[in-house]
Amino acid sequence: MTGKTVVFLCVANSARSQMAEGLARAHAPGGWQVFSAGSNPGRLSSTAVEAMREVGIDISTHRSKGMEDVPLEDADLIITLCAEEVCPVAPGGRARRLHWPLSDPAAGTGDPGARLERFRAVRDDLARRIAELWTD
């Protein structure tokens, strides 16, 4: 990768894109700026915070943001993370675009343990994919 700004997009900016932002900020090479946003921002998921804390990354101060709150026009890379929902469409620009269809871990039902497992699975998938970004 030669760009310096990456933006992760999903719908609520509460789980997938927040975890991606935290992971990318923790592991990006120097000089990178990392943002996340949603087309219909909600609230940061406490389960996402817990799953990230398990790997030593604190996203507890993050907040859900709309697409107008991040520098999409300056992005070198935009990554959408939606699977079942309609993903946000970022306006024009020069950015390289990737789509990583990941199921929303907050959408399922079940006990807290099962819910945390879904978040862990998405977190680990994101971690693998993000690590590969810096080797392209």
Q: So which residues are the catalytic ones?
A: 10, 82, 87
CA distance from start to end of the chain: 5
Residue at token pair 């620009």: 93
